[in-house]
Amino acid sequence: MACHHSPFRSVITVAIHGRLTHRAWVSDDWLKRLAASGPAGASLVSVCAPYRAHYQQELGVDGLVLHDAVAVAEAIWPGTLKCRRLAVDVVCDSTPARGATLIDTRSGYDDARVGREIDVALDADIDALRPLCQPWVRRPASSG
């Protein structure tokens, strides 16, 4: 059984599929440039070692996945991601799937869909997305 209520019904919502964010990773070179960008970049890179180890083990990638940065990019530059309107719901029962997001990608079942339809990002130009993320971390303005 899934929930059919949401406090966000009037908010523009884009769900970003995990398979998309797992493709949006940055390399060791990208992370070195981020660390060299200033104290904020260095601080961000310093805390990511456990995440990098996880992605190396799970995805075979020596880098870091840009989960939240992908969402922020879409919020700042709408249309960055390639979206499709799909029925989305959340499992709210007491099964082990509780909290899982269900996205119905089937076509031809419009009358059988359950859940609220929202835009779901299924694809993006990842090579164009990576450079958008690095300028967000800037050196503090010089005082004086």
pTM attached to this predicted model = 0.63
Residue 6: pLDDT band (50, 70, 90) is very low
pLDDT value at position 141?
46
Three-class DSSP category at 74: helix
More confident residue, 133 or 99: 99
Q: Summarize pLDDT for 31-83 with one digit per residue, the tens.
A: 888 888 888 888 888 998 898 888 889 878 888 888 788 888 888 888 888 88
pLDDT value at position 3?
37
Closest by CA to 73, choosing from 2, 9, 128, 138, is: 128
The two three-digit tokens of residue 12, written as one number: 């523009």
CA distance 86 to 105: 6
Phi and psi at 139, nearest 5°, equal: -65, 145
| 17, 38, 141 from 144: Cα distances, Å | 45, 18, 9
Annotate 75-124 with DSSP letters as a single string: HHSTTSEEEEEEEEEEB-SSSTTTT-EEEE--SS-GGG--SEEEEEEEEE
Q: Summarize pLDDT for 21-45 with one digit per residue, the tens.
A: 888 888 888 888 888 888 888 888 8
pLDDT value at position 77?
82
The two three-digit tokens of residue 31, written as one number: 């992370």
